[in-house]
Each structure stands twice: as C-alpha cells, then as structure tokens.
Amino acid sequence: MPGLRAPSDYSGEPPRHPCLRINSKEPFNAEPPRSLLISSYLTPADFFYKRNHGPVPIIDNIERYFISISALIEKPRQLWMKDIRILPKYNVAATLQCAGNRRTAMSKNKVVKGVGWGVSAIGNAVWSGAKLADVLELVGIPKLTSITQPGGKHVEFVSIDKCKEENGGPYKVSIPLDQATNPDADVLLAYEMNGEPLNRDHGYPLRVVVPGVIGARSVKWLDSINIIAEESQGFFMQKDYKMFPPSVNWENINWATRRPQMDFPVQVKISGYAVAGGGRGIETVDVSVDGGRTWLEASRFQKSGIPYVADDANSDKWAWVLFEITVDILHSTEIIAKAVDSAANVQPQQVEDIWNLRGILNTSWHRVHVQAGHSNM
C-alpha cells in the first residue's frame, strides 16, 4: 500500500522500554511489570503491553497513506488522513486487554498453547480519533444500520502486517455492522493515544479501537475496511480467539462449532484493577483474606476526586476500575479478589472450571499468597 510498508523481517523494529517483560521477541510480545501497570489510571504508551503477530509496518511517506473502504458502495472509496481528521474528534478512555491475559496461570493446571502472558497484557488509554460510525456514514452507510438488512452484516478491518498465521498475509478480523454503525458503541479509527500520535507498536498511523471487546478486534496499521456478508474468514476470527469447553483438545477440536469471542468477561487482579466487557460497570470488588469464607468490599475509583459509580454518566464505561482496600494480615494467608459487574456476572472460583486449550479468558478469582506483614494491596 502506498505510504506504509510491511517488512518481512525484524530489522526495522521500533525502540522499546527496557522495563518490559518480553514473552516473544519476534514477533514482539511484551508486558510491563505489574507494579508499574496499576501505578496510574492511564497507562503510558511505553508501558502498554505490545501484541504483534509480525514485523511492525514502516511508514515510507505519511503524505501518501490512505485507507480504502469497499462494498455496499459502488466502487472502493479512498480516505486520506485529512478526510479522517476533519470528522469530529472523540476522546474515549478504553481498556484494551488481550484475550490471553493471565494465560500462564491456566497452564499451571493443564498446558495451553499461546504466548505466556502474566497479568499485564492489559492497559488503559485515552484513544482519540474519528468514530467509525461517522466514517461509514461518509461513504454512504447510515448510522444504526441493522444486520437484518440485505447486503453486509460485518465490517472487516484489514491491516498490512505479514502474519505467519495468515501464511504471510495481513492481520484481519471483523465486527458486526450494527456495532460498527452505532455511535454509542464508540468504535474509533484512532490516530492518538493519551494525547500523542500513536507510536509504531500501537498501530501508527491509524488503528481501530473496539471498546469493551477483546484486544484482537482492535486492528492496528489499518489498510482497508470491507463491508462483507458474513464474518471475516481470517485466521484470527475463525481459528483463534474462541472459547471452548475443557473437554475439547487439539485432536477433537472443531473450530466451526463456536462463535468468535467478542466481549471480555469480568475479572480482577489482587493489586488493583477490575474490568468488565461490553461497557458494563463494576458493581463491587470483594476481597477475602481467609480463603473465601468472609469478604470485604474494596473502594473503587477511576479519576481522582470523582466518586466511581457503575454505569454513571461520569464514569468511563469502557475503562478499567481501580480498587483499594487496607486489611490487617495477622498471619500468612491467601488474599482473594473477585469482581461483580453491573449485569451481576461473577468471576468463577477455580481456573480449572474454565480451562480451555487456547488459554484465553482466564477470569478466575485472583489469589495471592502473602506473608504476615508483607501485604501489598
């Protein structure tokens, strides 16, 4: 594509912060130490987890960068950065989380396949850009288009990076058309992260951000958007990121039997974050210091000075909620944290109950062993 180039080797990778814990060098997959992660409500780009499936694309000439949008309209339309920048700019605080976050804890039970993420394949940022609903309207697709209409049902996002899962082809996934054309779903074509232009790892010059949904749907280095009749046939839609019951193994798996994962469920980390998919708020965070017999309610917050109320107009619906509680630990114990979202979804007690071969969506109670006098909450 003009302006943007996908290298086939890793000689042109961007610089990265030395604090990141590298899970895979090529492609680059890394997460920050957990203490840094929850030290601020907004995660600085340097510390934000990076999840790539191939070499990071290189900009040859930003002036020549455009995206093309096809189908439902007579011929593909080209949109330049200036066409996107001229649309109303929205700033949306949204937590992005890889479906494989906390995978390593699932492997302890029975081995799973995938990048060995700890607890920090998650981050919270203010993303700025145009709403996808406005962009689609610009090319003749009205707001709130229902998927029952003839023609398109899904909106596919295609990148330019070369992924081995796609046999060297680009990363691509799709979301339903009704979500894409709904302004309230806040799906963005973002060019800024925390007030700065996107950096190369996070999708410069333009990426999709689908709030409340697993990170895999937020395509970086956007090349084209296609309105298509069925969901994208790409690897990452059909052969990955699906939730299977524990009985499924690599011998008997039938990928076609499950829908692609979209929303992420409720989950919490003992040292301080709780997040629910689909834009749902966090109703309570409960902490136990006696192995789950009794529970204490933690205080929840997002921005300082504004009390957090689930699903309130002043709360960032797509963003994580930090929590805090001070407890006396008299002897060595296990601290447990679990959250409940505003639809009353509760985290499952044991990782065993939700084990799946891809090791995704580990939302089980987070348990941390502490020595008396060394609690760190």
Ligand X SMILES: Nc1nc2c(c(=O)[nH]1)N[C@H]1C(S)=C(S)[C@@H](COP(=O)(O)O)O[C@H]1N2
Among the candidate windows 49-57, 80-88, 134-142, 367-375, which touches ligand X by CB under 6 A? 49-57
CB of 162 to ligand X, least distance (A): 10
Residue (of 13, 10, 21, 12) closest to 47 by Cα position:
21
Q: Do 225 and 157 meet the contact criterion of CB atoms below 8 Å apart? A: yes
Q: How far apart are CA 207 and CA 65, in angstroms?
A: 13
Does position 216 interact with Mo ion (CB under 5 A)? The reply is yes
Using CB under 6 A as the binding rule, whether residue 98 contacts ligand X is answered as: yes
Shortest distance in whole angstroms from residue 325 CB to ligand X? 29
Residue 294, amino acid: T
- Yes or no: say if 65 and 159 are a contact pair by the CB < 8 Å rule: no
Cα–Cα distance list, 271 to 44, 287, 317 (Å):
18, 11, 21
Contact range with ligand X by CB under 6 A, out of 81-89, 140-148, 217-225, 323-331? 217-225
For ligand X, give the closer residue by CB, 215 or 359: 215
Binding residues among 52-111 for Mo ion as defined by CB under 5 A = 98
Residue from 181, 218, 271, 345 in contact with ligand X (CB under 6 A): 218
Output the smallest distance, CB 61 to Mo ion, in A.
Answer: 30
- Per-residue contact flags (x/-) with ligand X for residues 102 to 141, judged by CB under 6 A: ----------------------------------------
Binding status of residue 202 toward ligand X by CB under 6 A: yes
Picking from 94, 60, 63, the residue whose alpha carbon sits closest to that of residue 81 is 63
Using the rule CB under 6 A, which residue among 118, 211, 212, 215 binds ligand X?
A: 215
CA 363 – CA 349 distance, rounded (Å): 9
Please state, in angstroms and rounded to a whole number, the distance separating the CA atoms of residues 157 and 108: 35
CB 238 within 8 A of CB 255: yes
Burial of 90 from C-beta contacts in 10 A (0-12 / 13-18 / 19+): middle
Interface region with ligand X, contact rule CB under 6 A, candidates 18-26, 48-56, 140-148, 267-275:
48-56
Does residue 237 bind Mo ion (CB under 5 A)? no
With CB cut-offs between 5 and 8 Å by kind, which of ligand X, Mo ion, none does residue 191 bind? Answer: none
Indicate whether 133 belongs to the interface with Mo ion (CB under 5 A).
Answer: no
Q: Given the complex with Mo ion, which of 4 and 98 has the nearer CB atom?
A: 98
Note whether 96 binds ligand X by CB under 6 A. Answer: yes
Q: Does the protein bind Mo ion through residue 203 (CB under 5 A)? A: no
Tokens 């000439």 found at: 61
CA separation, residue 75 to residues 124, 167, 244 (Å) = 37, 28, 40
Binding ligand X (rule: CB under 6 A), the pick from 48, 66, 117, 244 is 48
Q: Among candidates 224, 94, 105, which has minimal Cα distance to 172?
A: 224
Distance CA 146, CA 169 (A): 30
Distance, CA of 375 to CA of 13 (rounded, Å): 39
Q: Across the chain, which distance is largest between two alpha carbons, in Å?
A: 71
Q: Which of 152, 215, 260, 272 binds Mo ion (CB under 5 A)?
A: 215
* Residue 159 touches which of Mo ion, ligand X, none (Cβ within 5-8 Å per kind): ligand X
Candidate ranges 47-55, 142-150, 242-250, 261-269; the one touching ligand X (CB under 6 A): 47-55
**Residue 153, interface with ligand X (CB under 6 A)?**
no
Report the partner that residue 50 touches, choosing among ligand X, Mo ion, none (CB closer than 5 to 8 A by kind).
ligand X
From ligand X, Mo ion, none, interface partner of 242 (C-beta below 5 to 8 A by class):
none
**How many residues in the shown chain lie near Mo ion by CB under 5 A?**
4
β-strand pairing of 66-70 with 224-228:
parallel
Smallest Cα–Cα separation from 141: which of 177, 90, 166? 177
Rule CB under 6 A: which residues touch ligand X? Answer: 48-53, 96, 98, 159, 161, 171, 201-202, 215-216, 218-221
